[in-house]
Amino acid sequence: MPVGTRDLLAAYASSELAWRVGVVLVVDVVESVRLTEVYQGRFVTQWLNLRGRIEDEAIRPVGGRLVKSLGDGVLAAFDNVRAAVSAALTILRLTQGLSSDEPVLAVRMGLEAGEFLADDQDVYGTTANLAARLCALADPGGIVVSAAVHAGLVDAIDADIEDLGPCHLKHFERPIHAFRLSPPGSRTLLQPGGLRHDLVPAVAVIPFVDVEAHGDTLVLGDVIADTIIQTFSRSQHMNVISRLSSAVFRWRRTGLSDIGDQLGAKYVVSGSYGRRGANLLIRIELAETRSGQVILQERLSLNASSLVTGDAPSLAEFMASAMRSIMARELDRARRQPMPSLESYSLLLAAIGLMHKPSHRDFDYGRLLLETLVERLPRESMPKAWLAVWYTIKVQLGRSEDPEADGSKANELALRALDFDPESSLALSVCGLIHTNFLKSFDAAERYLDLAIASNPSDSLAILHKSALYQFTDRGKAGYGLNLHARALSPRDPHRYYYDAIAASCAFSAGDYELALMHATESARCNRGYASAARVRAASLWQLGRHDEARSAAEDLLAIQPNLTVTQWLRWSPAADFDVGKRLSHALKQAGVPD
* 91 and 15 within one domain: yes
Q: Are 509 and 535 in contact (CB under 8 A)?
A: no
When pLDDT is cut at 50, 70 and 90, the band that residue 567 belongs to is very high
CATH code (residue 209): 3.40.50.10070
Does the pLDDT at position 137 exceed 60?
yes
Report the alpha-carbon angle 304-240-410, nearest 5. Answer: 125
Cα separation, 25 vs 286, in Å, equals 45
* 217 and 72 within one domain: no
SS3 113: strand
* H or E element in which residue 499 lies: helix 496-509
Cα separation, 389 vs 424, in Å, equals 14
CATH code (residue 567): 1.25.40.10
Report the alpha-carbon angle 398-404-409, nearest 5. Answer: 100
Cα separation, 19 vs 114, in Å, equals 10
Burial degree of 417 (CB within 10 A; 0-12, 13-18, 19+): buried
In a domain, 97, yes or no: yes
* 565 and 417 within one domain: yes
**Of 313, 330, 347, at which residue does a domain stop?**
330
Cα separation, 352 vs 480, in Å, equals 25
What pTM does this model have? Answer: 0.58
- Mean pLDDT lowest for which of 190-199, 320-329, 339-348, 382-391? 190-199
Q: Which residues touch 158 (CB under 8 Å, ≥6 apart)?
A: 82, 85, 86, 184
84-98, 102-116, 326-340, 503-517: range with highest mean pLDDT: 503-517
61-75, 352-366, 387-401: range with highest mean pLDDT: 61-75
Does the pLDDT at position 395 exceed 90?
no
When pLDDT is cut at 50, 70 and 90, the band that residue 79 belongs to is very high
Task: Name the residue with higher pLDDT: 439 or 254.
Answer: 439
Report which DSSP code applies to 156: T
In a domain, 355, yes or no: no
Residue 68's alpha-carbon distances to 63, 144, 155, 168, 364, in angstroms, are 15, 20, 30, 27, 37
Task: Name the residue with higher pLDDT: 400 or 142.
Answer: 142
Rounded to a whole number, what is the largest CA-CA distance in the chain?
A: 93
* 64 and 33 within one domain: yes
Question: Into how many domains does the chain fold?
Answer: 3
* 365 and 295 within one domain: no
In a domain, 259, yes or no: yes
Q: Are 284 and 297 in contact (CB under 8 A)?
A: yes
* 242 and 157 within one domain: no
Cα separation, 414 vs 133, in Å, equals 24
Task: Name the residue with higher pLDDT: 84 or 272.
Answer: 84
* H or E element in which residue 118 lies: strand 107-118
Report the alpha-carbon angle 575-394-346, nearest 5. Answer: 135
3-state secondary structure 423-485: CCHHHHHHHHHHHHHCCCCHHHHHHHHHHHHHHCCCCHHHHHHHHHHHHHCCCHHHHHHHHHH
* 12 and 158 within one domain: yes
**Of 330, 351, 377, at which residue does a domain stop?**
330
Q: Residues for the chain: how many in total?
A: 595
Measured from the Cβ of residue 162, the count of other Cβ atoms closer than 10 Å reads 15
DSSP state letters, 33-44: HHHHHHHTHHHH
* 73 and 222 within one domain: no
In a domain, 399, yes or no: yes
Cα separation, 6 vs 286, in Å, equals 61
Does the pLDDT at position 524 exceed 70?
yes
When pLDDT is cut at 50, 70 and 90, the band that residue 189 belongs to is very low
Cα separation, 300 vs 19, in Å, equals 74
Report which DSSP code applies to 58: I
In a domain, 568, yes or no: yes
- Mean pLDDT lowest for which of 61-75, 144-158, 502-516? 144-158
* 497 and 403 within one domain: yes
* 556 and 467 within one domain: yes
Indicate left, alpha or beta for 63 from its phi (over 0: left) and psi (-120 to 50: alpha): left
Q: What is the mean pLDDT of residues 427-444?
A: 92
In a domain, 75, yes or no: yes
* 399 and 520 within one domain: yes
CATH code (residue 47): 3.30.70.1230
- Mean pLDDT lowest for which of 28-42, 194-208, 294-308, 334-348? 194-208
Q: What are phi and psi of 270, to 5 degrees?
A: -150, 175
pLDDT in tens, 446-498: 999 999 999 888 788 899 999 999 999 999 999 999 999 988 777 656 678 88
Report which DSSP code applies to 139: P
pLDDT of 3 reads 46
Task: Name the residue with higher pLDDT: 232 or 592.
Answer: 592
- Mean pLDDT lowest for which of 130-134, 215-219, 392-396? 215-219
In a domain, 197, yes or no: no
Does the pLDDT at position 196 exceed 50?
no
pLDDT of 393 reads 85
SS3 298: strand
Q: Are 280 and 312 in contact (CB under 8 A)?
A: no
pLDDT in tens, 206-255: 888 887 765 444 577 777 887 777 777 667 677 777 666 777 676 656 67
pLDDT of 192 reads 35
* 372 and 281 within one domain: no
Task: Name the residue with higher pLDDT: 78 or 5.
Answer: 78
Q: Are 152 and 181 in contact (CB under 8 A)?
A: no
Which residues constitute the domain of residue 44?
5-187
pLDDT of 30 reads 87
pLDDT in tens, 249-297: 766 566 788 788 777 788 988 888 887 777 888 889 999 988 889 998 8
Q: What is the mean pLDDT of the chain?
A: 84
**Of 159, 187, 215, at which residue does a domain stop?**
187
In a domain, 515, yes or no: yes
Q: What are phi and psi of 407, to 5 degrees?
A: -65, -40
When pLDDT is cut at 50, 70 and 90, the band that residue 24 belongs to is very high
pLDDT of 195 reads 38
Q: Are 324 and 292 in contact (CB under 8 A)?
A: no
pLDDT of 315 reads 75
Q: What are phi and psi of 274, to 5 degrees?
A: -145, 155
